[in-house]
Amino acid sequence: MADANDIISLVLDDEKLKNSSSFGGKVYTDEPILRPASALKRPAPVRLNSVPEKIKEMRELPYRNDIRWQSRERIFYEQAKLMEDYEDDCPFSGSFTMYYPTYGSMTTEQLRGYFTWRTAVRKGEYPEAPVSFVFLYIYELLNGIGAGTPEEGYGKLMLVNEHYGSGSAVRSFLQRWIKDYVIYNRLPASCLDNSEDKSFDDAVLVLMECAGRSDEEVFGAIVRLSSYKIEGSTFYKTYPEEFRTVACGTYRKLSEHYGSHSKKTLCEKYFGSRVRMPHYMFASAVFYDRAGRRSFVYEVDPLQKFECMNGMWFSDMIYGSRKTSKELGELMRAVDHLMRERFGFRHRLGGCKATKTETGIIGKEIEGIFEQKKREEAAKIEIDVTKLGGIRQAADITREKLIVDEESDTEDMSAGIVENTGPGPMQTAEASAGNGTPLDSNEYRFMQCLLYGGDAEGAARAAGTMPSLIADSVNEKLFDLFADTVIDFSGGIPEIIEDYAEELKGMIHE
C-alpha cells in the first residue's frame, strides 16, 4: 500500500508536470482521484458454499517452483494425476464450450460439474454433458489418467466413442487419437481392425492385387472405395451378378492398361502414393509425452507403418482423403450407364464421364457377358441319338390315336395369337405415363408443383396419398438418373434440392 501511495505522490509533485500545459492554462473540472488498486471497490467474487481442498490444491499446483516453468501439457498431466481418484457430487447445469479445455481454464463450478460427470461415467453411466467435458475426459485417458494399463485405457476410449462419438466434433478427433493411442502404447494392431482407416487400406490392398483376387473380394473393395453408391442402383439390384462381373473385369483390364502404359498405377491415380512424412502424435489434443526418447517401428498393415526415431515420429502411408475415390465412382457410374443401354433397361442413367479407353474396356466386358450366355444356352441342347428310334415309335402310336380337325385348331390358334398381341404389363405401365420420365401422372404433377410453384400438398391429396409417400416414390424412381435424392423432406415440407432443380426442369415441363 505504501509503495502505491509513494508513486502517486511522485507523479503529483513532479515540477515538469506542474509547469506543463496539463496543469496550467485550463479550466479545472471534476477529475477522478488516483487510488491504489487495492482501494478500488470490486464486486465480490461469486463463491460456491465450499471449494473442496483437493480442487484448491490442484489450482495451486502450477505455482509450485518445480512445476511453474513446465509446459502447459506437463502442468495438465500433473494436475490430472493429482485429481485422478477425485469424485464429486455437484452437477453442472450451465453451458461450457471451450477449445482445448484444461483444468486451469475452468471455473470452480465447471470443475466440480466435470468431476461429478466423470464420477458417473466411471460407474458405467453416460449422462449428457457439454462436449468440452468429453474432450477433457479424453485428454485424461490419452495421458493414462484413470486407467491402470494401456489396454484398460483403450477400452475406456472405445466406450467414449460408443456413447459420445455420434457427434462429428468428437468422432473426427477421437478416431485419430485412438489410432495414435494404440501405436504409442504398442497395443496389438488388431485393435484397429474395425477402424475406417484400416478398412480403407484393406480395400486398396485388394485392388492392388486384383489380378489374383476373387470377384467377391474385388467387388467388395470397389463398393467400399467408390463414391458412386453401387448398391443403391436399380440396375445393380436387378442384375447383381452381371454388374459384378463387368465391374471387376473392367477394373482388372484398366489396372493392367495403366501398368503397361502409365508411370502411375491405377491405384495411385485413384488413391494417391505412399509418402513418408513427419507425424504429430495426438495432434490437437493436450498430451504430455511421458515415454521420452524411444526408437521402434509399428506396422498397422502392409500399407501403413509408423516409426519412432529417438522420440520423433514418422508415418509411411497413402495420403489423400482415405475415404472414397471420385474417379473410381465415375468409372462405376459409366459401367452402370453402358450396361443399362446394352441391356435395354427401362431407366437410363445420364451424365456419364468416361474416357475412350474406359468406354472401350467396359463395352468389351459387357459383350463378354452376352457371349457367355450364348455359350451356356448352346451347351444346354443335348441329343441322345440312341433314343431316336423309341421316340419315332411313340410318335407313330400317338398320331394314330389322335383325330384332330386341323382347320379348327388353326383357327383357334390364330384367335389366341390375336388376343395376345397387346402390350405386356411393363409396356402398359410405361406408356400410361406418357411424359418421357419414369414418373406416373400423379408424381409428374407433384413435381410440377414443387418446381413451378403449385400446391404440392393438394396434388398429393388428389392422388389419394400423402406428400411424404409420393416424395419417397419420386426419389426412388429418379435415383437411377441422379444417384441421389432430389426431394428433401427432412423439414416435414417437400423441397427440391437446389443442385438438381435446373436438370429436373429440363425433364419436367410446366
Question: Where among 134, 161, 184 does a domain terminate?
Answer: 184
Within a domain: 92: yes
Tell me, yes or no, whether 250 and 348 share the same domain. Answer: yes
Averaged pLDDT for residues 217-242 = 96
165-179, 445-459, 470-484: which has the minimum mean pLDDT? 470-484
The domain that contains 447 carries what CATH number?
1.10.10
Cell of 269: 491415380
Within a domain: 403: no
Give the residue from 335, 342, 381 showing the smallest Cα distance to 361.
335
Tell me, yes or no, whether 253 and 360 share the same domain. Answer: yes
Distance between CA atoms of residues 61 and 69, nearest Å: 12
Tell me, yes or no, whether 233 and 134 share the same domain. Answer: no
H helices of 91-231, where?
Answer: 108-122, 131-142, 150-164, 168-184, 196-208, 215-225
Percent of the chain past pLDDT 90, that is, above it, reads 57
Q: Residue 278: beta bridge partners?
A: 314
Tell me, yes or no, whether 211 and 332 share the same domain. Answer: yes
pLDDT value of position 13: 57
Give the residue from 137, 46, 58 showing the smallest Cα distance to 104.
58
Within a domain: 491: yes
Tally of domains within the chain:
4
* Tens digit of each residue's pLDDT (9 = 90 or more) over 308-360: 999 999 999 998 878 899 999 999 999 999 999 999 998 888 778 899 999 99
Within a domain: 47: no
* Tens digit of each residue's pLDDT (9 = 90 or more) over 248-270: 999 999 999 999 999 999 999 99
Tell me, yes or no, whether 157 and 212 share the same domain. Answer: no
Q: Average pLDDT, whole number, for the chain?
A: 84
Tell me, yes or no, whether 80 and 179 share the same domain. Answer: yes
Tell me, yes or no, whether 228 and 370 share the same domain. Answer: yes
Tell me, yes or no, whether 148 and 260 share the same domain. Answer: no
Residue 242: is its pLDDT beyond 80?
Answer: yes
* Tens digit of each residue's pLDDT (9 = 90 or more) over 128-154: 999 999 999 999 999 999 999 999 999
Range of the domain at 491: 437-507
Which residue has better confidence, 87 or 27? Answer: 87
Within a domain: 406: no
Within a domain: 401: no
Within a domain: 258: yes
pLDDT value of position 5: 59
Within a domain: 353: yes
Tell me, yes or no, whether 18 and 135 share the same domain. Answer: no
* Cα 402–chain centre separation: 72
Question: Where among 342, 358, 374 does a domain terminate?
Answer: 374
Question: Where among 151, 184, 217 does a domain terminate?
Answer: 184
* Tens digit of each residue's pLDDT (9 = 90 or more) over 47-86: 445 799 999 999 999 999 999 999 999 999 999 999 999 9
Cell of 131: 462436449
Tell me, yes or no, whether 245 and 346 share the same domain. Answer: yes
Helices then strands (H, E): number in the chain? 22, 6
pLDDT value of position 432: 41
Tell me, yes or no, whether 97 and 225 share the same domain. Answer: no
Tell me, yes or no, whether 231 and 362 share the same domain. Answer: yes
